[in-house]
Amino acid sequence: MPEPKKPTGFRGRWAWVDLASRTVRVEPADPGYGRDYVGGRGLQARLLADHLEKTGPLEDPLSPQNRIVVGSAALNDTAVPTAGRGSCSFVGTMARSPVPAAWVPGHKPVYGLVTHSSSGGLFPNMLKRAGFDQLIIDGRADRPVRLEVVDGELRIVDAEDGLFETAQGRRVPRKASEITDFLASRIKGGSTLTVGPAGWNLVDFACLTADYHRNFGRGGAGAIFGSKNLVAVTAYGKDPVAYDDAEAFKRFGQEIDKLVRASVDDPNRTASFRPTTGTTWWLDRAFNGRYLGVKGGYLPWHNFDEGAFDPADYDRVSTDAFLAISGKHSVCNKCRHIFCTRSAKVETGPYAGAGVRPEFETIALWINCCILDRDAIFHLNDLCNELGVDTMTFGSVMAGAMELSEKGFLSGFGSRLRFGDAAEMVQALKDIAYAANGLGRLLGHHSDRVIAEVAASAPSTALADIVYCTTTAYGGLGYAGISPKAFPGMFTAYGTSNRGRGDHTYAWTIQAEEGGLKDARDLAAYVAEGQAGKALVDSLGLCDFFTADITAEPFLSLYRALTGIAYTPGSLKECGRRIYALERRMNNLQGRDRTYDSFVPAKLKVPLGHGAHQGRAVDETFYNSVLDAYYDAWGWSNTGSVV
Ligand code: SF4
């Protein structure tokens, strides 16, 4: 009998982990899934759908019935630039609104959305080297456990006492760096993905942290690990990727490498800024139009009230301000040329320390809290990595809490939060992560629960005012760092993203809108196409900043040389649409329809008072016309259901 052909590109093995029975089943991967859903995010969407289609809507994402899948894609651990991005998928905790919410017109319960998170670092590639494409994790362990994935074997082991400490009266996992170091001493050369105290305390926007500062950030993956009594996954292995045609892969790989290099060398491409400024060039572009922008005026300020503020204040938190504390590159495994991440160091003062430079979205959303202290932003970012908190949702939650606090609605919870007060924001972060007090426990929950709890302690006439402060209402993740008032296309991207309102990564329209795109149908088509394209990028294991065309030559030949799968431009694009529509269908099952998509927070209907976009606000009528065209572009019903 000839030896069966070794899988190429993919590792070809999935591990089914049942924490309740402490059993592991290793099975060959389904090659049909790999072809039709590509890998990474797409494959995981299929694995979640197989589960959800049987169990019906999952009403509580923190129940043992939630499935979380962690893994990689065919390109991961190859020499293709940025091929170090892994995937994690689950039903999210933040994007939900499960009980009646009188503040949402026509409210329907949304139980949590299918969420994909992408992370770089070393962990995804190391998991693949350790012998598995996907870990499919179900159930809840009866005591704290961790997973060891070493050289083709997967073990569930009891979490050691040394992984825990008592903080604020609770036994919680240590900070991410301490857990990573502890497990590195157990498994030499291993890479660790860990929950933080926030996830253990079921904070709805808790993340998972890999390799000290890489995160499966949005949607609540940390809370899912916490709900499963799962502390960490450590991977180690040396198995290299196998190629269908190694010579051809090398040849096409060199062509791709040249294309990516050329984009970085071209001063008219945004890729050229990344090795120096990373993502922070967007700060200047959003504030004043520098870096190939137009005129700025859309960097959110004071809980999304404005998109501009005093330029003298801005200098303290500008692109250059963060460049001044930047050090050497500190990039994901297999990154080449683009190199967006740099170490950073604050030498003196209360926030002195060493870590990595924060990302644009993080900084923007903390500027939205009127924090104009660069060193405090650096420190808060470091603390979020250590405690396992999604920096972006934290920023949105803080902006709302500051406004609620200044209006007196949080006095019964002991809040001293104020716009611009960095020290109180640092304290609030610890209070939330450690569920240390009434304020911390309140703010760690999804927003509609926060609104209900705050409203219960206020006069009934105050409800509208409370809701006004909370732009994360009705299952929002929190709007990202581009003012939602300035760009109707971006507002559509925010409103329709499969992983929840406010997400900016599934479609991105700013350059197109600054270039004049404004017709409703054109905006809708652009958003839909972006969403399908991004589903492919995530499913290929690449980074958003990869610059070669993934649906054209030489990329398609490269992929065929790796996997033996021959996509055409059309068939690969069709995979992107299939993946996105599958996620949407699961979200329909979870309660999402047009009611959710069309919700516009009252605050966003109030025009910007200053700056280049003065007078602009979300126009609900126009937005609904874009939504009509958007559903049409996808072929969904006018109520937003996949048919
Ligand atoms: S460009 Fe940045 S995020 Fe992307 S792979 Fe490289 S270091 Fe990681």
How far, in Å, is the centroid of ligand 1 from the Cα of 339? 6
Atom of ligand 1 nearest to the CA of 120: 8
**For ligand 1, is residue 159 a contact (CB within 6 Å)?**
no
Rounded mean pLDDT, 281-289? 98
* Residue 524 burial (CB count, 10 A): 23
Rounded mean pLDDT, 191-217? 97
Structural tokens at position 270: 């945004």
- Can you give the pLDDT at residue 5? 75
Rounded mean pLDDT, 396-400? 98
Q: Which residue lies with its CA nearest to atom 8 of ligand 1?
A: 332
Extract the runs of DSSP E, i.e. beta strands, from 347-505.
353-356
**For ligand 1, is residue 83 a contact (CB within 6 Å)?**
no
> Residue 245 corresponds to which amino acid?
D
Structural tokens at position 587: 């979200």
Q: Which of 77, 332, 343, 360 to mutate to test the pocket of ligand 1 (most atoms within 8 A of CB)?
A: 332
State the pLDDT confidence band at 32, using cuts at 50, 70 and 90: very high
Q: Which of 77, 270, 537, 545 to mutate to test the pocket of ligand 1 (most atoms within 8 A of CB)?
A: 545
Structural tokens at position 619: 């126009």
Structural tokens at position 104: 């949402």
- Written in H, E and C, the secondary structure of 199-235 is HHCCCCCECEEECCCEEECCCCHHHHHHHCCEEEEEE
CATH assignment, 275-469: 1.10.569.10
Q: Which of 340, 361, 505 to mutate to test the pocket of ligand 1 (most atoms within 8 A of CB)?
A: 340
Q: Which residue lies with its CA nearest to atom 7 of ligand 1?
A: 331
Atom of ligand 1 nearest to the CA of 332: 8
Indicate the DSSP class of residue 476.
B
- Are 542 and 550 within 8 A, CB to CB? yes
**For ligand 1, is residue 543 a contact (CB within 6 Å)?**
yes
Atom of ligand 1 nearest to the CA of 340: 2
Atom of ligand 1 nearest to the CA of 341: 7
Domain 13-236: give its CATH architecture.
Answer: 4-Layer Sandwich (3.60)
Q: Which residue has the tokens 């559903």?
A: 631
pLDDT tens digits, 405-449: 999 999 999 999 999 999 999 999 999 999 999 999 999 999 999
Atom of ligand 1 nearest to the CA of 329: 7
Structural tokens at position 535: 């589903």
Q: Which residue lies with its CA nearest to atom 4 of ligand 1?
A: 543
How far, in Å, is the centroid of ligand 1 from the Cα of 463? 43
**For ligand 1, is residue 332 a contact (CB within 6 Å)?**
yes
The rounded percent of the chain whose pLDDT value lies above 90 is 98
How far, in Å, is the centroid of ligand 1 from the Cα of 278? 9
Q: Which residue lies with its CA nearest to atom 5 of ligand 1?
A: 82
Domain 488-634: give its CATH architecture.
Answer: Orthogonal Bundle (1.10)
State the pLDDT confidence band at 122, using cuts at 50, 70 and 90: very high
pLDDT tens digits, 159-197: 999 999 999 888 999 999 999 999 999 999 999 999 999
pLDDT tens digits, 292-316: 999 999 999 999 999 999 999 999 9
Structural tokens at position 502: 């406010």
- Are 134 and 15 within 8 A, CB to CB? yes
**For ligand 1, is residue 273 a contact (CB within 6 Å)?**
no
**For ligand 1, is residue 331 a contact (CB within 6 Å)?**
yes
CA distances to 3, 9, 28, 72, 237 from 6, in Å:
8, 10, 11, 18, 17
> Residue 231 corresponds to which amino acid?
V
How far, in Å, is the centroid of ligand 1 from the Cα of 428? 30
Question: Per-residue DSSP letters for 592-621?
Answer: -SHHHHT---GGGGSPP-SSTTTT----HH
- Can you give the pLDDT at residue 168? 85
pLDDT tens digits, 316-328: 999 999 999 999 9
Closest CA to 131 of 240, 17, 214: 240
22 phi-psi bin (left φ>0, alpha ψ -120 to 50, beta other): left
- Can you give the pLDDT at residue 457? 93
Long-range contacts of 487-490 (CB under 8 A, 24+ apart): 487/298, 487/513, 488/513, 488/518, 488/523, 488/618, 488/619, 488/622, 488/623, 488/626, 489/513, 489/517, 489/518, 489/523, 489/526, 489/527, 489/626
- Can you give the pLDDT at residue 2? 63
> Residue 495 corresponds to which amino acid?
G
- Can you give the pLDDT at residue 427? 98
- Can you give the pLDDT at residue 56? 83
Q: Which pTM was predicted? A: 0.97
Residue 4 has pLDDT above 70, yes or no: no
**For ligand 1, is residue 277 a contact (CB within 6 Å)?**
no
Per DSSP, the three-state class of 87 is strand
Indicate the DSSP class of residue 285.
H
Residue 561 has pLDDT above 80, yes or no: yes
How far, in Å, is the centroid of ligand 1 from the Cα of 338? 7
How far, in Å, is the centroid of ligand 1 from the Cα of 78? 15
The average confidence (pLDDT) of the chain is 97
Residue 55 has pLDDT above 90, yes or no: no
Q: Where are the domains of the chain?
A: 13-236, 275-469, 488-634
Q: Which residue lies with its CA nearest to atom 2 of ligand 1?
A: 340
Cα(6)–Cα(361) distance, integer angstroms: 42
How far, in Å, is the centroid of ligand 1 from the Cα of 134? 22
pLDDT tens digits, 512-536: 999 999 999 999 999 999 999 999 9
How far, in Å, is the centroid of ligand 1 from the Cα of 272? 13
- Are 467 and 498 within 8 A, CB to CB? no
Q: Which of 274, 277, 335, 534 to mutate to test the pocket of ligand 1 (most atoms within 8 A of CB)?
A: 335
Cα(104)–Cα(102) distance, integer angstroms: 6
- Are 520 and 630 within 8 A, CB to CB? no
Rounded mean pLDDT, 189-207? 98
**For ligand 1, is residue 84 a contact (CB within 6 Å)?**
yes
Indicate the DSSP class of residue 359.
P
Residue 1 has pLDDT above 90, yes or no: no
